[in-house]
Amino acid sequence: MKALIYTLPVIVSIFVSEKTDFKEKVNELTVSSKRNAIKAIPLQMQSANSDYCIRNAVVFKHWQVDQILKGVLAGKAQVIQKHSVEYGICPYFLSAIIIHESANGTSRIAREKNNVAGITSRNNSNNYASFDSVDDCIAAAAKLLGGKVYEKCDTVSEIQKIYCPVGAKNDPNKLNRYWLDGVVGYMNKISGSQIPVKML
């Protein structure tokens, strides 16, 4: 095996060359990092109320919400988050509706029909719709809230007037009057009373 023998000038030349290349690489990486740096999005902490904008983009702490979800809703926070983002709905708002409508995943309708959002049948508003899975119901609720029926509704109270109106014919026990306070209350509970809203 032949040994490689370098003279001192060659060694110095190699060292300088490698050092120069190293510096250039560092500079390239530094410039690239600055160019591709993720800009921090400012947050504003908001408490939920009847005028809260349900279109808000938020930081959703799904692990925190999962600690509250029970029954057929157990472990569904990320499913809620996925469909909320898909249809432009605040996931804290959708979570609160689902918890309120399903008695936090324990109601008979939730258990027997996988209906956790209080969605009624298209053909008969006195009957609740059935779903193949809880995930399907969550997706349907997000699509409904993000769709044409509610396109002019931006606040919790505006949604309530259509989603669960007080005095509706299919509400003989007058339970709809508790919907607004119930949903707002759950929004504050699952968010720890402060919702981190992205100021885009």
- The tens digit of pLDDT for each residue in 9-46 reads 444 444 445 555 555 654 554 555 555 555 678 999 99
Which of 100, 78, 193, 87 lies closest to 146, judged by CA?
Answer: 87
Q: What is the pLDDT of residue 1?
A: 47
Collapse the DSSP code of 197 into the 3-class scheme (helix H, G, I; strand E, B; otherwise coil) and give the result.
Answer: strand
- Dist. CA 58–CA 196, nearest whole Å: 6
114: left (phi over 0), alpha (psi -120 to 50) or beta: left
Predicted TM-score of the model (pTM) = 0.79
Cα of first residue to Cα of last residue in the chain, in angstroms, is 66
Domains of the chain from N-terminus onward:
43-198 (1.10.530.10)
Q: What is the pLDDT of residue 6?
A: 45
Which of 138, 148, 37 lies closest to 91, judged by CA?
Answer: 138
In this prediction, what percent of the chain has a pLDDT beyond 70? 80
Residue 37, number of CB atoms within 10 A of its CB: 8
Residue range 104-162, pLDDT digits in tens: 999 999 999 999 999 998 877 678 999 999 999 999 999 999 999 999 999 999 999 99
